[in-house]
Amino acid sequence: MPPAGQFGPPPVLPPQQPAQQAQQPQPLPQPPAPWGPAAPGQASQTPDWDALANTTAARGRRRKWLLVGGGAVATVAVAGTVAALVVGSNKSSSASGLPSPQKLPSSSGSPEPSFSQVAPPPPPNPREFIASADKDKAPLSTKTLFPHSKPSLDKRKYDRTATATSEDCATAAQGGLGSVLTGNGCRQVLRATYVRDGVAVTVGVAVFDTKAAADKAKEQSTGNIESLAGDGPSFCRATACRLTANAEGRYAYFTVSGYTNGKAVPDDDKEALQAGRDVAGYTFRRIMARANAQASASVATPSPGTKKQA
C-alpha cells in the first residue's frame, strides 16, 4: 500500500464478459399476395377457381334447403295453431250455448228499412155502451132482444111461444117485484116465453136509465115476473116455480119456470131448474151481443169532428 498522500497506478480489474447484445425483433412473415408470381422458394399463390366455384355452389344448395325446410316447419306450426284456435272456439261456443260461427245468420249488405208504426187505440169496453141510456142508443124491442123462434140453448132446443112489451113495469110482475121495478125507475119490461118438453120459462127484461138502478132492482128483488102464457096453458100461477134474478148493464132480467100442466115444481126438480138457467144464459148473451154490436160500430164509424186517417 503506498504511503498516504501518494497515488499509485489504478487497480487492475478482472476481465468481464462483454454484454449480450439485445436481440433485434425479427420481421413478421408477410402473407403471400393473392395473385401474381410467387416469391423465390414459395409455391404459386394463384387461387383454384374451380374449387371455389364448387364450394360456393354447395353453400347455396345447403342454404336453399335450410330455407325450404324452415318454411315447411313454420307452415305446419301455423296450421296447427289455427286448427287449435278453431277447435277451441267451437268448444267454447258449444259450452256457452251460443251457435257456432257457421250457424250464425249472415247479415245482409243493406239494412232493412224501418217504419214507425202508430199503435191503434184500444177497443172500447162493450159494457160501457149498455151502462147508461146516454150511450145505449141501438133500437130495442122484443124482435131485437129475442130474435130466435127456435133457439138451441146448450144443445137443448126450445120454442118461443109468446112475446110482450109492457110500459107499465108493475103489470109485468107479481108479488113485491112490481114496486121494486117502479121504485128504481123502470122504463119498460120486455118478456118472452120458451117451452120444451112440458116445461115453460118466461123471462122479463126490465130497462132502467143507469146500471146502478138495475143493480139495485136486482138486489131488492122479491116476488117474480109474471108468466106469459100466450096461446098455451097458463103456468106458474099460484103455484111454486123456479125463479132467477140477474142484472147486466142497465138491464135487470128475471125468469120464472115451471110445468105447462100447472103442476107445482117440487124441491127435487131438475127440468124446470135447467130450463130457467138455459133461458137466463141466453138472455145474458143477447144483452152482451147488443153491447158488442154498438162497440164495434163506434170503431168503424168515427165520431163527428174526428178526421179519418189515410
Q: Let me know whether 71 and 161 are in one domain.
A: no
Evaluate whether residue 295 is within a structural domain.
Answer: yes
State which residues form the domain around 58: 50-94
> Given phi > 0 = left and psi -120 to 50 = alpha, else beta, which region is 230?
left
Q: In terms of domains, do 161 and 274 share one?
A: yes
Listed residue (238, 269, 243) closest to 257, CA to CA: 243
- Three-state SS at 244: strand
What is residue 102's predicted lDDT score, i.e. its pLDDT? 56
Q: Is residue 306 part of a domain?
A: no
74 is a domain residue: yes
Pair (60, 194) in one structural domain: no
Q: End of a domain among 71, 94, 117?
A: 94
Q: What is the pTM of this model?
A: 0.60
220 near 245, Cβ under 8 Å? no
Q: How far is CA 210 from the centre of its chain?
A: 41
Residues 260 and 217 in one domain: yes
- Give the per-residue pLDDT at 69: 54
Q: What is the DSSP string of 134-174?
A: TT--S--SHHHHS--SS-EETTEE-EEEEEEEESSGGGGEE
Looking at residue 38, its pLDDT comes to: 46
231/82 same-domain check: no
Q: 57 and 138: one domain?
A: no
**Angstrom distance (rounded) from CA 167 to CA 142:** 13
For residue 168, tell me if it sits in a domain.
yes
The rounded distance, in Å, linking the Cα atoms of 164 and 191 is 5
Closest alpha carbon to 218 in 244, 188, 194, 196: 244
| 66 Rama class: left (phi>0) / alpha (psi -120 to 50) / beta | alpha
The three grid cell numbers given for residue 309, joined into one nine-digit string: 186517417
pLDDT along the chain (310 residues), means of 10: 48 48 49 47 54 66 57 51 51 52 56 65 89 96 97 94 96 96 98 96 98 98 92 84 97 97 93 97 98 91 49
- Is the C-alpha dihedral spanning 104, 105, 110, 112 positive or negative? negative
| C-alpha span between 301 and 299 (Å, rounded) | 6
Cell digits for 20? 449480450
Question: What's the pLDDT at 250?
Answer: 98
How many distinct structural domains can be found in the chain? 2
- Say what the pLDDT of residue 269 is: 94
Same domain, 57 and 133: no
Tell whether 2 is covered by a domain.
no
Same structural domain, 197 and 288: yes
Q: Is residue 18 part of a domain?
A: no
Say if 103 falls within a structural domain.
no
> Identity (one letter) of the amino acid at 258?
G
Q: Are residues 293 and 153 in the same domain?
A: yes
Q: What pLDDT shows up at residue 308?
A: 44
Q: Domain for residue 267, yes or no?
A: yes
Distance CA 105, CA 109 (A): 12
Asked if 67 and 147 sit in the same domain, the reply is: no
> Are 261 and 143 within one domain?
yes
In this structure, the answer to whether residues 133 and 282 fall within a common structural domain is yes
